[in-house]
Amino acid sequence: MNKYIIKIDNVWKTYTMGEVQVHALRGLNLEIKHGEFLAIKGPSGSGKSTAMNMIGALDVPTKGSVYLEGKDISKFRESNLAQLRGKKIGFIFQQFNLINTLSAIENVMLPMVFLGMPVGERQRRAKKLLSMVGLDKRYGHRPTELSGGQQQRVAISRALAVNPDVILADEPTGNLDSKTGSTVMDFLKKLNRKENKTIIMVTHDDELAKHADRIENIIDGKIIKGGKK
Amino acid sequence: MLIDFVKISLNSLRYRKLRSWLTMLGIFIGIAAVVSLIGMGEGLRVAISGQFGFLGPDIFSVQASGLNLAGPPGSNTVNPLADDLYKKIEGLNGVEASFNRHIESGTLEYNDIQSIGMALSVPSGENRKAVETMLNLEVESGRLLKDGDNKRIILGNGFKDDKIFGKGVSSGDRVLLSGETYTVIGILEKKGSFIFDQSVIINEETLLDQFGDDGTTDLIAVKVKDVKNIEKVMEDVEKILRKERDVDLGEEDFVVASPQQAIESLNSTLFAVQLFVYIIASISLIVGGIGIMNTMYTAVIERTKEIGIMKAIGARNSTIFTLFFIESGFLGFVGGLIGILLGLGIANGMSFIGRQALGSELIQASISAELLIGSMLFSFILGTFFGVMPAIQAAKMHPVDALRSK
């Protein structure tokens, strides 16, 4: 097994806006170990979202390489990236990003549908995950019928649906009150400790970042100093 | 997997119920128009062909033409056909039999109520059988006419119930035909043709006796030996008639026509009408299809974020394409289904109203399975066709851009 589950090697991302070239990432280097809980911090416009897109295989770099489990995915085509995301990475977003037309359980089952899992297994697993986050009475509810905290718990269940190695959380408590927020953080920590999931959290909140094993700061598209611990 | 996609797509459509219905409206108006108008046109064609159907393909008719404004065919003509003409025609090569047919209209009275009756003659002797076969005469009750059946008639099936005389006529009853008393000896089987179901069948001698013999005939029926030669025989008959009546080619005051020709000309007229309906319906369906495209483009823009989410959690481009494709196909399919039901309702309702208003069995909707399956398939294809472009647009979205929207 590779030492690093994710390795980002001198990655540049350049957007062309009109005639101006904007460098969102300028030679980003980052290595993430199996089972690590990493917080990526940075002010808005620092390139942390772009970094997250690279880690989450949502985008490919203009220059440099991204390795997932030792495989260079920087030249992958979109459909291969989609398959990779579907299998290896679970996303948790600030806006929860649930599909409003589907019920809680259908939202959790969706990644498994894309993966072609049989219906019985899908339902069993989705029910298990929803009761794990304390939503076993809410299977049939639509996202609009759930509170913010409940929605984020559905989103966490969805992120765990295909049992991915990596959980990518983008400001996971940003839209929640502090009490609900800390419940969500407890979940993430528990996943890290008990299930040995690699957790990468993007945030601008110092307090939140302290929950992680290691903190990396991004400014101007680069990591600027080593993390704690 | 496909079933799951169908469920997801249906969920989206249900979520936007009003818009889905409005979009389908365009399709089902078009399909309803096609199904109902084509169905009624086809029904009319079948019914009218049925009117001609009593004549076999090996028989054609000769009639004088000219002023023919009202009344039975051939009755108000300038120059009627001579009643001995049939003998000359019979002498032609390829003719098996030829005979005069007299048609007179008169009053028919029963139960003190008067009605119009059309009296059709049947010749005596060996030609009787030929005419009976030609007109496919069979009785439902009583018996057919025989030679010497004076003052006896057979009535069409339409007189059997109480619609015409307030009381049904049956075999053995006495009726007045243009003032003279006749005994009804039989009732014809139902033909579904308004001419036949309200006709009076009478022996030729009796008819000439009552209505007078002026040495002319209304119609000459000609039966050929071999149906393949019917065109040639018809030309020969035209030649004889031109000579007899001293008219030039192109100025004939008579018509030689086979039922086949009549059906063909009817078909070509109806085809023109149907073509017109198809064109109107196509325009409406294209507009409906563009409605689907418009709705789907809106849906793609509105659901950009949703597309981004799905891509983030593992949906491939092909998955997104399929989801949107199913949605538009479904809009077309259900629109078509409702259109068919609506069309069936309109066609049957209109023909029912028509039958009540005109009292004629002629107006019948005839909707074939091909028409239904074709409409169904067409509306589905329409939905998918106009859904392809929006679905491609959705599939090609970049996950990062899509996630960032809204």
- Nearest residue in chain A measured CA to CA from B13: A101
CB contact under 8 A, A82 and B4: no
- Nearest residue in chain A measured CA to CA from B311: A82
Range of the structural domain that residue A146 is part of: 34-63+77-223
Is the pLDDT assigned to residue A170 strictly greater than 50? yes
Is the pLDDT assigned to residue B52 strictly greater than 90? no
| Spatial separation of the C-alpha atoms in residues A125 and A164, rounded to whole Å | 13
Section A110-116 average pLDDT: 94
Distances, alpha carbon B266 to alpha carbons B2, B62, B260, B269, in Å? 49, 19, 10, 5
Pairing of the two strands A222-223 and B81-82: unpaired
State the total domains in chain A: 1
A5 occurs within a structural domain: no
Q: How far apart are the first and last CA of chain B?
A: 29
Chain A residues inside the 8 Å CB shell of B310: 99, 110, 114
In angstroms, the separation between the Cα of residue B318 and the nearest Cα of chain A is 8
Assigned token pair, B59: 């028989």
Q: How far apart are the first and last CA of chain A?
A: 24
pLDDT band (50, 70, 90) for residue A226 = low
In angstroms, the separation between the Cα of residue A97 and the nearest Cα of chain B is 6
A229 occurs within a structural domain: no
- pLDDT, residue B318, reads 94
- Nearest residue in chain A measured CA to CA from B306: A99
Q: Any idea which residue has 């959790």 for tokens?
A: A108
Report the top-level CATH class of B58-99+218-257: alpha beta
pLDDT band (50, 70, 90) for residue B68 = very low
- pLDDT, residue A1, reads 56
CB contact under 8 A, B12 and A101: yes
The H or E element containing residue B212 is none
- pLDDT, residue A36, reads 94
In angstroms, the separation between the Cα of residue A228 and the nearest Cα of chain B is 30
pLDDT band (50, 70, 90) for residue A229 = very low
Closest CA to B289 of B225, B385, B375: B385
Q: Counting runs of H as helices and runs of E as strands, what totals does chain B give?
A: 12, 13
User: Tens of pLDDT along B280-339?
Assistant: 888 888 888 999 999 999 999 999 999 999 999 999 999 999 999 999 999 999 999 999
Closest CA to B107 of B99, B98, B97, B118: B118
Candidates A114, A144, A158, A163, partner chain B, best to mutate (most B CBs within 10 A): A114
| Spatial separation of the C-alpha atoms in residues A154 and A92, rounded to whole Å | 10
Q: CB neighbours (10 Å) of residue A128?
A: 13
Chain mean pLDDT for chain B = 84
Residue type, A154: V
pTM as predicted: 0.72
CB contact under 8 A, A99 and B318: no
Q: CB neighbours (10 Å) of residue B77?
A: 18
A9 occurs within a structural domain: no
Assigned token pair, A178: 């502090």
How would you class B225 by CB atoms within 10 Å of its CB: exposed for 0-12, middle for 13-18, buried for 19 or more? middle
Is the pLDDT assigned to residue B243 strictly greater than 90? no
Is the pLDDT assigned to residue B378 strictly greater than 70? yes
CB contact under 8 A, B12 and A78: no
Chain A residues inside the 8 Å CB shell of B399: 58-59, 78, 82
A17 occurs within a structural domain: no
A interface with B, Cβ–Cβ below 8 Å: 53, 56, 58-59, 78-79, 82-83, 85-87, 91, 93, 97-102, 106, 110-111, 113-116, 119, 158, 162
CATH number, domain containing residue A157:
3.40.50.300
Within B199-258, residue ranges assigned H as helices are: 204-211, 230-245
A20 occurs within a structural domain: no
CB contact under 8 A, B315 and A114: yes
Is the pLDDT assigned to residue B372 strictly greater than 60? yes
Residue A6 DSSP label? E
Section B162-167 average pLDDT: 82
User: Tens of pLDDT along A23-59?
Assistant: 999 999 999 999 999 999 988 888 888 999 999 999 9
Section B90-116 average pLDDT: 85
- pLDDT, residue A188, reads 92
Is the pLDDT assigned to residue B234 strictly greater than 50? yes
CB contact under 8 A, B314 and A116: no
Which residues in chain B are classed under CATH 3.30.70? Answer: 58-99+218-257
- pLDDT, residue B26, reads 86
ipTM of the predicted structure? 0.92
- Nearest residue in chain B measured CA to CA from A103: B11
pLDDT band (50, 70, 90) for residue B104 = confident
